[in-house]
Structure 1
Amino acid sequence: MVDADLVVEVTGAVATVVIRNPGRRNAMTPAMWRRLPVLLDGLESDPAVRVVVLTGADGTFCAGADLGDLDELLAAGDGSIAVAAEERLATFAKPTVAAVRGACVGGGCQLAVACDLRIAAADARFGVPPARLGLVYPAPTTHRLARLIGPAAAKHLLFTGELVAAERALRIGLVDEVLPDADLAARVDGLTGVIAERSQLSVAAAKEIVDGRADEERMAWWHGQVRVSGEAREGVAAFHERRAPRFGWTPPAAP
């Protein structure tokens, strides 16, 4: 039997992180929660990787945290390794896409919500089960869910612990698209391919701004990057010449 793990597969500019825990519907173990930020650090520093896809093995996204190791998660509260992994995913500098099949529950839903985009197969099911287990969902996780789908929809999920189908998840804004299972992989490939071809300067800046992490000083830095990088000149030239732009910006190395 394959051990529980996170597996990274890189194809071109797209890295796919696969949640794998055979026999436990891909539940996240403490070791997997700890490993995720380490993997993300490596992918963020790799200039060849422009987009990251998070998905689950064998037709299931993730059934949540492995409750066999509940005590470790409970003792830490909002400082848990699960919250730390979620926060690292949410602040990852490059675009992230959750490709969801089957169960996306608890910690799995937590990870999907921390991604920038969520594309679901028609068989996907979403749930936030703390009220069924006597747990308190972490504050950062609860706030992120409420910002995404609104207070009323978040309360419904949290109060009831019910699973919702993919079409309802689409209606409340929990996912961005729902497709037949057979079409999901092609759609994710197409979407990530488009994002990878765009100006990474524009994409990275947009992510920071939308997420509320770009203050006045950071915005001045971004506008400076536009001036010195030549990205805008290349984009406008390509538009007039009716050709694909040749964008080349990569994040400057940290001082």
Structure 2
Amino acid sequence: MTVADAELLVEVAGPVATVVIRNPARRNAMTTAMWRRLPELLDGLEADPAVRALVLTGARDTFCAGADLGDLDELLDAGDASIAVAAEERLAAFAKPTVAAVRGACVGGGCQLAVACDLRVATTDARFGVPPARLGLVYPAPTTRRLARLVGPAAAKHLLFTAELIDAERALRVGLVDEVLPGDGLAARVDELTAAMVARSQLSVAAAKEIVDGRADEDRIAWWHGQVRASGEAREGVAAFHERRPARFGWTPPARH
């Protein structure tokens, strides 16, 4: 395997960017270089006004089998300050909607990344697992809390205590994934979801994401309401509803300084 074989690929089609995890020799495990690269990619995609949604997926028939354990010492020494946690936090804070499109194994660091996305859509052959108890590791605290918020304490403890793999149907029941589809239906459904997201008011979507994720205080919420008044988004949305036509939303986020 050459170094170039383990990489994150970016594909942009219209307003949707797709980040592909590719490491064929290790079932798309994330290397140190890949963990470091992910926040950089996300910074660029977030700053691009043409990109309105992000899809994270794995190359071919595997999402991501976890962190490459060849880099274990570096991850252990860092603890909760690891580059893996930093990449997860950056993905969770991405200002635009994110969808994990999951095929095959979604384990360890792969599950960590999927949980950091807004939505998770999986094929029937997907398998999910959180293996620290099998390896003698402590799952990072931010990662553990995010998992528990998503699936609830009992389901999180089952995954963490047993390190068992669960199938897509059980993942759906506990809320780890939002939809389960036949393998040949995944791409079309992801396209459908992202098309709906990018057609909506980006002001509404961005505000909702911040509020749901608990990142908007009272001042920030007031700022969002001010953006509604100043932008004309609501007037356009209501007019489009009454005229039975698609809304022509035009709000874009202010540049960050």
Q: Distance in 1 between matches of 2:184 and 2:5?
A: 27
Aligned residue in 2 for 1:232: 234
Report matched runs for 1:47-126 at 5 Å.
47-126=49-128
The 3-state SS of whatever aligns with 2:195 is: helix
Structure 1 residue 58: Cα displacement: 1.2
Structure 1 residue 126: Cα displacement: 0.1
Aligned residue in 2 for 1:11: 13
Residue type of the alignment partner of 1:174: L
The 3-state SS of whatever aligns with 2:21 is: strand
The 3-state SS of whatever aligns with 2:26 is: coil
Q: Distance in 2 between matches of 1:238 and 1:149?
A: 37
Q: Distance in 1 between matches of 2:108 and 2:97?
A: 22
The 3-state SS of whatever aligns with 1:236 is: helix
Unpaired stretches in structure 1, ≥5 consecutive residues: none
Equivalent residue for 1:192, pick from 194, 197, 204: 194
Q: Distance in 1 between matches of 2:127 and 2:222?
A: 42
The 3-state SS of whatever aligns with 1:205 is: helix
Pair 1:252-2:240 in alignment: no
Structure 1 residue 22: Cα displacement: 1.1
Q: Distance in 1 between matches of 2:251 and 2:52?
A: 11
Q: Distance in 2 between matches of 1:109 and 1:79?
A: 18
Residue type of the alignment partner of 1:67: L
Q: Distance in 2 between matches of 1:208 and 1:62?
A: 27
Aligned residue in 1 for 2:165: 163
Aligned residue in 2 for 1:146: 148
The 3-state SS of whatever aligns with 2:24 is: coil
Give me the TM-score of the superposition, normalised by structure 1: 0.99
Aligned residue in 2 for 1:43: 45
Residue type of the alignment partner of 2:64: C
The 3-state SS of whatever aligns with 2:5 is: coil
Residue type of the alignment partner of 2:50: A
Paired-residue identity, %: 84
Residue type of the alignment partner of 1:54: L
Structure 1 residue 254: Cα displacement: 2.6
The 3-state SS of whatever aligns with 1:93 is: coil
Q: Distance in 1 between matches of 2:103 and 2:231?
A: 39
The 3-state SS of whatever aligns with 2:54 is: strand
CA RMSD of aligned residues (A): 0.7
Q: Distance in 2 between matches of 1:153 and 1:220?
A: 36
The 3-state SS of whatever aligns with 1:123 is: coil
Q: Distance in 1 between matches of 2:255 and 2:79?
A: 35
Pair 1:30-2:32 in alignment: yes
Q: Distance in 2 between matches of 1:136 and 1:128?
A: 11
Pair 1:181-2:180 in alignment: no
The 3-state SS of whatever aligns with 2:51 is: coil
Residue type of the alignment partner of 1:155: K
Q: Which moved more, 1:245-254 or 1:137-146?
A: 245-254
Unpaired stretches in structure 2, ≥5 consecutive residues: none
Structure 1 residue 252: Cα displacement: 1.0
